[in-house]
Structure 1
């Protein structure tokens, strides 16, 4: 079942935070050794409910202590949709993540109305450009200019840039020419069990 189908259901029934906690515990328990060796880093997308959970960091710290997984091998991805639900809670979450040397990414950047406010208030490591600007980049001058602008801003802030929804070779080539060093999409890799990758 694609995440786009089951995550909205989990949010609607108020169990998204429990789901996020289960994912974090399961992933760190199974792959703590690979994280400790530096062979793997894990990134977690967080729901709005989880970002607003005041006990989240107590939970994460306890799981890290149990599994021995290093904070530096863990990253969290925050979408504007999740952050806008409770901006102050999201800001506090990012601050605590940075204190622990966890990486933080702004996911789907540019898709909402307040993206640049997040750059002002959230000290993130990575900006992930929303796929809506990527998928037609070879045909749309507007999309190219947006991607160039976001890439320039990200570089000036010392952030990595990821292009999302890369599905065509010419899209990948154009992003590379534009200085987008990282990518995500079916052209590069389709979802599959982690055991097949590591």
Structure 2
């Protein structure tokens, strides 16, 4: 049944400039990757969510996901640190998810596969993000056991009007379910797209039609400001 209940949040990082304006990831993540700073960003995010704000998040009862970069998937020290945080955090691990992309795992296949298996064994959920955007997406399903497949927004935006996009979304959804994974459609921005996805059977939707980004502090009803922002997913 279509409940329309917000069931998950994806926590995304933003920068704040000297005027207090938000800087989107497209503006600073490429620079961070170029200068080898992604591990510092990843570590700040997991520390912020799983340690410093853990009590608030635990009390709020939300389920959420965090993105892991290619550097994180290939760095043993970061992985050890994250596993220790997960062992110590009061947040139930069943509420914690991680998202990885094809571009992040392409050069870290062995390390990423082992790390994903460890996270899932601990009780966390793992999603393969931006699925379908790369040429080898389906091949990765042979190497990874995952809980969610996030259908790339480039196929979702025009699923109501473009027959090719519709067939691709239907195919990804069918393959995911046959493999025991649930599907998430990104960039759901209007009612007609949401209705088409419901008819296909997509499990979760994410986008401005579902919910606008908001500060994590606001979500947790806390006073302290933060630059981390969640976007809502709605349960089908």
TM-score (structure 1 length as normaliser):
0.93
User: Which consecutive unaligned segments of at least 5 residues does structure 2 have?
Assistant: 1-22, 221-236
Asked if the contact 1:34–1:40 (Cα under 8 Å) also holds between the matched residues in 2, the reply is: no
Q: CA RMSD in A?
A: 1.6
2:92 alignment partner in structure 1: 70
The structure whose residues are more often helix, as a share, is: 1
Matches within 5 A, 1:170-185: 170-185=192-207
1:24 is the counterpart of 2:24 = no
One of 114, 117, 120 as aligned partner of 2:136? 114
* CA apart distance, 1:56: 2.5
1:121 match: secondary structure: coil
Q: What does residue 162 of structure 1 align with?
A: 184
TM-superposed CA distance for 1:73, in Å, is 2.1
- Unpaired runs of at least 5, structure 1: none
How many equivalent residue pairs? 198
How many Å apart are 1:70 and its aligned residue? Answer: 2.9
- Aligned equivalent of 1:141, options 160, 163, 172: 163
Higher-RCO chain (CA-CA 8 Å, sequence separation at least 6)? 2
Shift of 1:45: 0.8
Q: Which residue of structure 2 aligns with residue 82 of structure 1? A: 104
Tell me the TM-score normalised to structure 2 length: 0.79
Once the two structures are superposed, residues 72-122 of structure 1 have per-residue CA deviations (whole angstroms, 9 ceiling, x without a partner) of 221110100111122112111111111211110000000001111111110
Quick one: distance in 1 between partners of 2:141 and 2:209?
A: 29
